[in-house]
Amino acid sequence: MEDMITIAMPKGRIFEEAAELLRQAGFQLPPEFEDSRKLIIDVEKERFRFILAKPMDVPTYVEHGVADLGIAGKDVMLEEERDVYELLDLKISQCYLAVAGLPNTKMNDVAPKVATKYPNVAARYFREQGEQVEIIKLNGSIELAPLIGLSDRIVDIVSTGRTLVENGLVEYERIIDITSRLIVNPVSYRMKDERVNELVERLAEVIQSKVIES
């Protein structure tokens, strides 16, 4: 279908909250939508195709045009710096990026090390603070790094702070608040502007109503 809109989304919390937001905006998604194990889901009634991807891959799919739209956390957008347009703050999956480490410890004066899955964001942040650090990129269990002496600090996503506490870590600095954003491929925005703008308007109306209620 020529007017099909392809949307890349990450599985998990963002996927579930985004699906609920789409339903509140009046889009009819099947009841079993969130439970599907498929990587590509067509919702023909709404002329949507969803691609389920790793969070870090969503902006890549949108930049290269295999997806018209994407839903990605601001953390991913800052790290990946892809050639896409950010259309709307969906105000879902709220969290923040923070610097954390073991309590009552200072950064190593000689060669301070920071472990993170966000090397670009972390390097930029410490550079802005006038601090020269060695960035160690990890893909998971970032909290482990200071516990085993791999790093002095970590830069990671914090939601409730429970994971930090359970691993004996404390938050030192809050870098930036994070929410999920609706992004679009520049060419798709020109070619499918009517459908994209309709989607944005309906979602924005729901988001605005939530802000007023709160």
- Per-residue pLDDT tens digits for 63-82: 999 999 999 999 999 999 99
Q: What is the location of CATH 3.40.190.10 in the chain?
A: 5-93+179-213, 95-177
Distance CA 198, CA 188 (A): 14
Mean pLDDT on 12-31: 93
Mean pLDDT on 166-195: 96
Give 110-132 pLDDT, tens digit per residue.
Answer: 889 999 999 999 999 999 999 99
Top-tier CATH class for 95-177: alpha beta
What own/partner pairs with CB < 8 Å and gap ≥ 24 does 166-170 have?
Answer: 167/143, 168/102, 168/103, 169/100, 169/101, 169/102, 169/103, 169/143, 170/100, 170/101, 170/102, 170/103
Top-tier CATH class for 5-93+179-213: alpha beta
59 Cβ neighbours under 8 A, 6+ residues apart: 70, 72, 76, 77, 80, 82, 84, 183
Mean pLDDT on 144-156: 97
Percent of the chain residues past pLDDT 70, beyond the cut: 99
Query: Hey, what are 97's tokens?
Result: 């990026």
Residue of 126, 128, 97 lying closest to 112 (CA atoms): 126
- Evaluated on CA atoms 196, 198, 204, 210, the torsion sign reads negative
